[in-house]
C-alpha cells in the first residue's frame, strides 16, 4: 500500500488528473470488490477516440481504443480475483490491462503486479487508478505479438482480449512465454465465438482449460462471462 498523505504521491495524482482532463472527457465509477470500495477513472466515450487514429497508424497496428472502457469481463475478473484467489506473495502480470482494474484489485489482494498494455495512453490511466486506490504496482508497454519481457510469472490475467482472430495465437504464445512452468492464466471473455478457437489453440499448445462461468449484471443488462483457467498439461513420465 502507499500513503497518499505523502505530498509527492498526492501531487502526482492531482497533476495526472489535470493532464488527463485536458485530453479526454472523463468518467469516474465506483465498484465494490471483496467488500472494499474502489474508484476507477476511464474515458466517457471511447468512440470519440477513433478520430485520433490516423489511417497510417491503423494500417500499422489495427489498434482500436478498446482500452478506454471498463468492460463487463474486466469487472467479472476483478470480482473473481477479490473473492476466489489467494495472491499474497505471488508475482502477477496482466496483459491488455486497459485502465488497470484487475491489476489494481490483484495488488490490493497482496500480489506483486506488473500491468501491461500496448497503448501508452492506457498506462497513464493505469498509473492514475493505482494512485487513486492507494496501491502500488509496476506498469509497462507490452506487445503480445513480440514479447520482450524475460520474466516469468506465477499468474497471468487478461480480460476481453479475444476480439481479433489474428491475435489468438500470439496471445497463446505470449501466455506460454510469460508463465512459470507451474503458473496459471485466467482469461475472462464474454463468450465470443473466437474464444472457442482460442481454447483449441491453447489445447494444441499443451494447456489444460478449466472454465468458470459467471454472470455480470450492470448497466441494465446481464452479460455471460467465462473465466478460463489455463495450466500446462503434465507430461506423462
Query: Taking a C-beta distance cutoff of 8 angstroms, is the pair 36, 105 a contact?
Result: no
Percent of the chain with pLDDT over 70: 87
The average pLDDT across 147-153 equals 96
Q: What is the pLDDT of residues 190-216, one digit of tens each?
A: 999 999 999 999 999 999 999 999 999
Return the H-helix or E-strand segment holding 73. helix 72-84
Distance CA 135, CA 122 (A): 17
CATH top class, domain 7-232? alpha beta
Q: What is the pLDDT of residues 15-65, one digit of tens each?
A: 999 999 999 999 999 999 999 999 999 998 765 665 655 555 544 555 667
Average pLDDT in the 112-134 region? 96
Please work out, in degrees rounded to the nearest 5, the angle formed at the alpha carbon of residue 44 by the alpha carbons of 42 and 48: 115
Please state whether beta strands 138-141 and 112-117 pair in parallel, antiparallel, or not at all (unpaired). parallel
CA-closest candidate to residue 202, choices 224, 183, 220, 229:
229
Provide mean pLDDT across the span 139-155: 96
Amino acid at each position: 500500500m502507499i500513503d497518499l498523505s505523502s505530498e509527492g504521491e498526492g501531487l502526482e495524482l492531482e497533476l495526472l488528473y489535470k493532464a488527463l482532463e485536458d485530453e479526454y472527457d472523463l468518467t469516474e465509477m465506483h465498484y465494490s470488490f471483496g467488500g472494499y470500495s474502489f474508484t476507477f477513472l476511464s474515458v466517457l466515450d471511447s468512440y470519440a477516440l477513433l478520430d485520433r487514429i490516423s489511417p497510417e497508424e491503423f494500417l500499422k497496428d489495427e489498434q482500436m481504443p478498446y482500452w478506454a472502457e471498463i468492460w463487463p469481463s474486466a469487472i467479472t475478473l476483478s470480482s473473481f480475483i477479490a473473492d476466489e484467489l489467494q495472491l499474497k506473495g505471488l508475482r502477477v502480470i496482466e496483459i491488455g490491462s486497459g485502465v488497470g482494474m484487475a491489476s489494481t484489485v490483484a495488488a490490493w489482494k497482496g500480489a506483486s503486479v506488473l500491468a501491461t498494455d500496448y497503448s501508452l495512453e492506457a498506462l497513464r490511466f493505469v498509473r492514475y487508478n493505482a494512485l487513486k486506490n492507494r496501491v502500488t504496482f509496476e506498469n509497462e508497454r507490452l506487445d503480445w505479438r513480440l514479447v520482450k519481457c524475460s520474466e516469468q510469472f506465477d499468474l497471468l490475467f487478461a480480460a476481453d482480449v479475444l476480439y481479433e482472430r489474428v491475435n489468438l495465437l500470439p496471445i497463446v504464445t505470449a501466455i506460454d512465454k510469460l508463465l512459470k512452468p507451474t503458473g496459471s492464466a485466467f482469461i475472462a471473455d464474454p463468450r465470443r465465438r473466437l474464444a472457442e478457437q482460442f481454447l483449441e489453440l491453447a489445447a494444441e499448445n499443451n494447456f489444460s482449460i478449466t472454465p468458470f462461468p459467471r454472470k455480470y449484471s450492470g448497466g441494465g443488462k446481464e452479460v455471460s462471462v467465462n473465466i478460463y483457467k489455463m495450466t500446462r498439461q503434465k507430461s506423462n513420465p
